[in-house]
Every structure is written in structure tokens, then in C-alpha cells.
Amino acid sequence: MSERVNFRFPTAIHFGSGARDSLAEFARDHQVERPLVVTDKAMVSTEAYRLVKQTCDKTWPNGWTVFDGVHPNPLAADADDALKAYRAGRCDGVIALGGGSAIDGAKALLLRIAEPGCPLQETDLAALPEKIVPLCAIPTTAGTGSEVGRSTVVTVPALGRKIVLGAPALLPTLAILDPVLTVGLPAHLTAATGMDAMTHAIESFVCPMFHPMCDGIALEAIYRIAQYLPRAVKNGEDLQARGEMLVAAAMGAVAFQKDLGAAHSMAHPLSSEFDVHHGLANAIVLPAVIRFNGEKDSQQYDRVAKALGIFDATDPANAVADYIDGLNEQLELTRRLRDLNIPQSAIDTLASKAFDDGCHLTNPRKCQRDDFVRLYRECW
């Protein structure tokens, strides 16, 4: 309690079916006359894109620009290409449309707008202005919660791994949570992105940093995901479940202002090395990490267990890990790394990259490289 900490929850959020119409307020309130929509190639063929395009055409009748070159695991080069589109379109604001990759790509673009000559690397971003250009984030998945976060995750080929860059300047000015835009998301992606949100909430709650507001938000997110993710996967047109999952994903991202843990350190190299969907990677490794942490202190998961509806666990960590295993099975997610054609021989490389990833520094149990070797083997 002697350590000084700062709390920050500044992002404006517009929620509900049809909330995409709030783009008119974004244009008016922030004097955005020609935005760049940052997305990916798969998104432009969806109904969600068509609906947002209609709103953009109405809001900016004099024109707006699209950049659809963000990769599923965003590359540093994506930000360079987006900056070219931003300048060519004479844009003055950014709209991120899609999953966490598109939103992270848009945030990386903001870094390029602010410092076009600087390489994207793990460095001190304190010199950034508080606001760069207005950014509106419109998620079409309920997972990363990047629409309310101040970080971007990009893969830097020169480093051979993902890096996390964070600063208040990367916080979206407005987040639009419109469940109608998530209806077309396939069941397997609904499941994987939902488990990403679950991992955020659980890891942030047990993270040893002091942030009681985030703790409360994390527990509520866990409860909502447990209630509504199976419904959203079973029936993609269940607007209540879709909306609740959007809210829960945003709550998970607010919660991990505290920081995350070893599951994310393990998930990041699975994506950069083998292109595994980030949410699926988290879903696979989370039970093993929970059991690992529980060997030192199982009771830290007691309130997580209660949020999941488990009220009589003598070993809460194992009860929570068993629950997550069962939920992964119910959602028909891949549960073993070998089933993704990841060779056992890759474990040493994965463990080294996981140890180099900073997320585990706030894991409740200290991790060494050999611990990651053990954990990957348990997941294989």
C-alpha cells in the first residue's frame, strides 16, 4: 500500500445495436473531415463492413479512405503502409474496424503519425503527445478489448517476436460496441476470441499489482463470459449474448491495466512462430498456467472460482483449470499444441521466446525458462 499508483479509465464507449451511428458524433466532436478506415482484407467482404461503409458514406459524403492491409498478427510494416494511405488520402482521423489485429494496426499507425522516422521497438513512449489524432475503434470480435486499451501488439521480424507498446496516446478517443457487427463472426472465432477475453480477466485478477478497481471489473468480466460465451457460440444471432460478450471483452481489457501473466508470454510466440490465433493460444495454455500458479498459492483463484459458479472448491486453482479445460471442450476448441501441427522439437525455441516476453514479469509466480519448457510440454 506504500507504492504510489495511478488509475485511468478515460475511453468514451457507445454501446448497443446501431451504435455505429455514433460515427456522426465522432466526426462532429473531433472535427474529423476525412478519416482513414484501418481494417484487413477479410473484413471488407463482410456484412459488418457493408453496414459501417453505409454509415461512413452518410457521415463523410465528401469521401473517406480505406487501408485493408493489416495482417492477422500485425507487422511493423503494416503501420508504414497505413501511413502512406493516411497521407495519400489527406486524412485527419482514424477508424479501426475489425478484431484486435485491425485495432492494434491502427494504434501502430498512430505511433507512425507521431514519429514517422522512428522504428517500432520496445522503448520509452513518454515523449508522445497525450493525443495524436482522433481514433475511433469499432470491434467486430469480442476478445482483445483493444478498443479500450492503451497498448498495441505488433510482430517485428527483425526481433523475431511480438512486442507490446503502450502509452495513453494510443487510447481510442471513442469505442463503438455494436453487437449487430459481430453477428457474422463464425462460431470457432467467437469461441477463440471469447477465451482471449477470459484469459485477460483471469490473468489480470491474479496479477500481484495493486488495482482494486480492475479486480472488481475482472471478476464481473469472468462471470459474464462464463454466462454468455457458450450462448454466443451456439447461436451467433443471439444479440444479447453478443452484446454481453462485447462488454465483457472491454472489461477484460480495462482490467489488464494491472498487467497480465505467463499465459500471454506463452501465447505470443505461438502466434509469431506458428501463426496460431492469439485467443486460441491463450485458451490452450491457460489451464496449465493456472495449475502452475496454484502450486504456490491455490487460494488466489478462490474468487475466480466463485465468479465461475464454483463455490465449494478446496483447491480453487485446479477447479478453475478444470473448468477452463471443460469450457474449451464445450466450445470445440483445439486443446493440444500437437493438434496444431506444432512439433515437440519447437518447445525449446518457444520457451526462450516466452521467457523474453515481458508479460510473465507480473505473473503471480516467478517464471524461469525451464518453467516454460515444462508448461509447453504439458500443453503439447
Q: Please tell me the predicted confidence (pLDDT) of residue 106.
A: 96
Q: Is the pLDDT of residue 118 over 70?
A: no
Better-scored residue on pLDDT, 31 or 125: 31
Joined together, the cell numbers standing for residue 72 give 492477422
Rounded Cα distance, 27 and 21, in Å = 11
φ/ψ of 4, rounded to 5, equals -85, 130
> Would you call 146 exposed, middle or buried from its count of C-beta atoms within 10 A (0-12, 13-18, 19+)?
buried
Average pLDDT, integer, range 345-360: 96
Q: Is the pLDDT of residue 247 over 80?
A: yes
211 DSSP assignment:
-
Average pLDDT over the chain reads: 92
Q: Is the pLDDT of residue 1 over 50?
A: no
Rounded Cα distance, 226 and 222, in Å = 6
Instruction: Tell me if residue 135 falls in helix, strand or coil.
Output: strand
φ/ψ of 332, rounded to 5, equals 60, 40
pLDDT tens digits, 2-26: 566 666 667 889 999 999 999 999 9
Contact 181, 140 (CB under 8 A): yes
Q: Is the pLDDT of residue 115 over 90?
A: no
Rounded Cα distance, 135 and 141, in Å = 18
Q: Is the pLDDT of residue 119 over 70?
A: no
73 DSSP assignment:
S
Rounded Cα distance, 79 and 84, in Å = 9
Residue length of the chain: 380
Selection from 98, 322, 331 nearest residue 192 by Cα: 331
Better-scored residue on pLDDT, 74 or 197: 197
Contact 85, 41 (CB under 8 A): no
Say which residues have a Cβ less than 8 Å from residue 289's Cβ, sequence separation at least 6.
Answer: 261, 262, 263, 266, 363, 375
Paired strand residues for 93: 35
Joined together, the cell numbers standing for residue 6 give 495511478
Q: How many CB atoms lie within 10 A of CB 364?
A: 19
Model confidence at 165, pLDDT cuts 50, 70, 90, reads confident
Rounded Cα distance, 358 and 151, in Å = 13
CA-derived radius of gyration, the chain? 20
Model confidence at 367, pLDDT cuts 50, 70, 90, reads very high
Rounded Cα distance, 361 and 102, in Å = 27
Work out the percent of the chain whose per-residue pLDDT is above 70.
Answer: 94
Rounded Cα distance, 30 and 33, in Å = 9
17 DSSP assignment:
T
The most confident of the ranges 2-11, 128-137, 315-324 is 315-324
Selection from 155, 234, 225 nearest residue 196 by Cα: 225
95 DSSP assignment:
E
Q: Is the pLDDT of residue 349 over 50?
A: yes
pLDDT tens digits, 198-229: 999 999 999 999 999 999 999 999 999 999 99
| Angle, helix 369-379 to helix 347-356, in steps of 10 degrees | 130
Average pLDDT, integer, range 305-323: 97
Amino acid identity, position 78 = D
Better-scored residue on pLDDT, 248 or 9: 248
Model confidence at 252, pLDDT cuts 50, 70, 90, reads very high
Rounded Cα distance, 33 and 37, in Å = 13
Rounded Cα distance, 51 and 28, in Å = 20
Buried-state track 233-242, b at ≥16 Cβ within 10 A, e below 16: beebebbebb
Q: Are strands 174-177 and 12-15 parallel, antiparallel or unpaired?
A: parallel
Q: Is the pLDDT of residue 81 over 80?
A: yes
Q: Is the pLDDT of residue 180 over 60?
A: yes
Q: Please tell me the predicted confidence (pLDDT) of residue 70.
A: 95
Buried-state track 37-74, b at ≥16 Cβ within 10 A, e below 16: bbbbeebbebebbeebeebbeebbeeebbbbbbbebbb
Q: Is the pLDDT of residue 232 over 80?
A: yes
What domains can be seen in the chain, in order of their start residue? 12-182 (3.40.50.1970), 187-379 (1.20.1090.10)
